[in-house]
Amino acid sequence: MPGVTPADVLSNFGITLVEDPAENQPRLLVDLPAAELVEHAIRREEGRMASNGALVIETGERTGRSPNDRFIVDTPDVHDKIAWGAVNRPLSIESYETIKAGIVDYLNERDVFVTRGMAGADRNHTRRLLVACERASQALFIKQMLARPLAREIARTGEPDFCVLAAPGYQCDPAIKGLNSSAAVVINFQERVILVAGTGYSGEIKKSIFSVMNYLLPVEDDVLPMHCSASMDPVTHETAVFFGLSGTGKTTLSANPTRLLIGDDEHGWSDMGIFNIEGGCYAKCEGLDAFHEPEIFNAVRFGAICENVVLDENRKPNYDDVSITHNTRVAYPVEHIPNAWTKGMGTTPSVVLFLTCDAFGVLPPISRLTADAAMYHFVTGFTAKIPGTEVGVTEPTPTFSSLFGEPFMPLDPMVYAKMLGERIADGRTRVYLVNTGWIGGGYGVGHRIELAYTRALVARALDGTIEDSEFVHDEIFNVDIPTTCHGVPDGILVPRQSWQSTARYDEAAHNLAVMFEENFEKKYSHLPESVKAAGPHAQVPADARHRGRGLLGLRH
């Protein structure tokens, strides 16, 4: 209903702060502009201003997400819908109430920064959010990350669809039943509340909101939520989506000066097309430089917020210094990208790319997938976790993450897989698997594929000219590999040819194929046989081995 203020909303939780309190009393600071939030953050010693104008903060002990501290409250309305397990950990209502009471008492003793925004650029599927933060820097972060409502939309906001209470300085009692530490990220779908406590890593707020949308969009709107970036051809308006876990290149590859950026991480796919869930970008910036990633490099300016980036004596960011963490990050509004499509919406994708970071170095830099193979790779979601993106990950770790985003998906993976399958079944969407990881050997032996080569491969996939190449079929991984691509050395396209030891390649490829098979059998044996048959096969026919260990004849 109109006229509901943030103070009214927060009072429902027991937060008694107001915007104009008595002298020397804590207050609510509502919808402050970015410049004012920067002033507050610096005055409160939350961060420093870099020479490029960005606010630079340190997140403290936790420099990445903490999956073991993420919970969903087990309420009757979601009990039979959530895919409970190691990813979606249940928390009792009693434990939730205890944590919430502690956060409320904590926030009542200090200034609280309130930001109102939206998740979802398509107003048919938007969810209104109210985020209450202990820190001005986190309020700036979420202000830049959410879709920004128009002034008239703010005026008639009324009750939000979801609230976030973020108190990084509040330490939970680890003895609370169900908790694993003093940190907790808790989603309560019944009360429409997210609690974030004990962690200053802003990505926890972002990803908890994404998790909420990954439940609401399929259940309430019949929309497929996707952990992907998206871009658009400026002439044809054809769109493409890039699936991938953190560190696989979603942000980098979608920030392309020849295309319009729709968004870099979270999208929905409805009957009408795709839309950005966010209004900002959250990019890894280890090794960031103006030559290789000029769009992102130049986006780091006033209004952006850097996490755990080291500054030199002149306050210049040193993106090569990862002494705090490999997971250095920068958040900025999508408008900081010159070619951003600020409407945040596009047509049904003509191309889908699954980005994977293969630490074994055996997957091809790009390969073409059939519809069944697309379903296979979507549900298996193979990649390697990149150092720093989660607490304790210090080197690439092979993993299978359903939907290229399992940590954020509350429902059974098959809910999302079925929705994707329905959307690509008509054959109008081409699907490719892109390896942005290692070539010429595994981690520690080979090297990561050059970004310029990946960009060239993706460009040819997007404009369709890669289909003019001859393709060879890899029997082990069951994919079609182009033998040539303009701007890319032929010798790296077929991985076996780039290894010094073909015997070691054969062994590594076999081992990874076994991992695929075991993972699929464990989790997805109920899927149609056609999907299973479209995946990797550790055992290949003898004639295939004689003809190059897994490479059969040419395909077009």
- Residues at the binding site are 65, 201, 207, 227, 244-252, 265, 293, 329, 448-449, 454
Answer for the pair 117, 131: CB distance below 8 angstroms, yes or no: yes
Tokens of 73: 């409250």
Answer for the pair 300, 54: CB distance below 8 angstroms, yes or no: yes
- C-alpha–C-alpha distance, residues 369 and 433, integer Å: 7
Q: Which of 344, 521, 352, 519 is nearest to 420 (CA)?
A: 352
With 0-12 CB in 10 A as exposed, 13-18 as middle and 19+ as buried, what is 420? buried
Answer for the pair 273, 429: CB distance below 8 angstroms, yes or no: no
Displacement of CA 30 from its chain's centroid (Å): 28
3-state SS, residue 276: strand
Residue numbers annotated as active site: 65, 207, 227, 246, 250-251, 265, 329
Tokens of 477: 């991984």
- C-alpha–C-alpha distance, residues 369 and 490, integer Å: 20
Q: Give the residue numbers of the binding site for ATP.
A: 207, 227, 244-252, 293, 329, 448-449, 454
- C-alpha–C-alpha distance, residues 504 and 261, integer Å: 40
Answer for the pair 313, 364: CB distance below 8 angstroms, yes or no: no
3-state SS, residue 134: coil
Element (H, E) at 432: strand 430-435
Alpha helices in 78-120 (DSSP H): 93-107
Q: Give the residue numbers of the binding site for Mn(2+).
A: 207, 227, 265
3-state SS, residue 284: strand
Q: Phi first, then psi: give them for residue 206, nearest 5 degrees.
A: -55, -50
